[in-house]
Amino acid sequence: MAAARDVARYLSSSDGSAQENGFPAVNPGNMERPHRQNARPPKPDAPPKSRGRILAPVLDAADAPRRTRVLIVDDHDVVREGLIALLGRAPGMLVVGYAASGEEAIEAAKSLTPNVIVMDLVLPAMNGLDASRHILAERPLTHIIALSGCHTSDHVHRALDAGVRGYVTKTSAGADLVLAIAAVEAGRIFVSPGIRSMSPGGQSIPRRAAGHLEHLSQRERQVLGYLVKGSSSAEIGRALRVSPKSVDTYRHRIMVKLGVHNRAELIRLALEYELTTV
């Protein structure tokens, strides 16, 4: 709970000063420091440095595989510092670096090979969803968690359609982000609880939909469980020893019975009623 309060204070800081809110300054080893009075100024023709940074210390070979490598992507210094502080205290996690734009995120994903990327959706130039698509096209096993100030289900739909595995609102990041990372690493999809039950138009999904779950066959429930995990029709077919075409038929029947119109809405409905395991 203390960590949740800490990051909430970071994220709600209006003047960008972590120290004035009672936090120690986050100063990773290779973050830029102010020049001393007698230090030489940089050369005028020197190219600007990338704002991306590598933060991870060198780990011994025995320890490295047990840590979840996390890359943070956000263009606001105070948000990045808060997330670095939060995840730096979380057991089993290692913040390997951060980026301040979509382009930097793509390059950092290549060089730092994170398991999980916490991606702000609103970034300068290339936005977070476009950056996520680029990264997943090259590194499909990377788990991306969207970090957003938007609470509408339309934004959640677009993020899930882009291949994002988690959606956490900035107002609940302190409480939800560690849980989200654990969930996506376990093969599940995570959506902040406050927006789980929203439909594309912003209306709550009718509770009567719960009654239709009773009409799903055992096989349809199995297929639904795999769909929530993000498995493709071919992957589900191999797991259940049926053809991909049969999986598509099951998915269509499930959507008709539950009264949903697309995969993203189906996933959110399954999350609402905790149908996240097979």
**What's the pTM?**
0.57
CATH code matching the domain that covers 209-272, chosen among 1.10.1040.10, 3.30.930.10, 3.20.20.10, 1.10.10.10: 1.10.10.10
**pLDDT tens track for 150-209:** 777 667 878 888 899 999 988 888 878 999 999 899 888 888 876 654 444 434 444 444
Lowest mean pLDDT among 62-66, 75-79, 133-137: 62-66
**Model pLDDT, residue 240:** 92
Q: Please indicate whether the domains covering 2-195 and 209-272 agree at the CATH topology level.
A: no
Evaluated on CA atoms 166, 170, 174, 175, the torsion sign reads negative
Amino acid at 159: A
Query: Within 13 Å of residue 173, how many CA atoms lie on the same side as its CB?
Result: 28
**pLDDT tens track for 107-126:** 999 999 999 999 999 888 78
| Domain assignments of the chain as residue spans, ordered by start | 2-195, 209-272
Distance of CA 218 to the CA centre of its chain: 31
Question: Alpha carbon of 164 to those of 30, 124, 129, 188, 189: distances in Å?
Answer: 30, 19, 8, 11, 9
Confidence of residue 214 (pLDDT cuts 50, 70, 90): low
CB 35 within 8 A of CB 41: yes
**Residues pairing with 54 in the sheet:** 97
Q: What is the CATH number of domain 2-195?
A: 3.40.50.2300
**Model pLDDT, residue 272:** 57
Task: Look over the chain and give the mean of its residue pLDDT values, rounded to a whole number.
Answer: 74
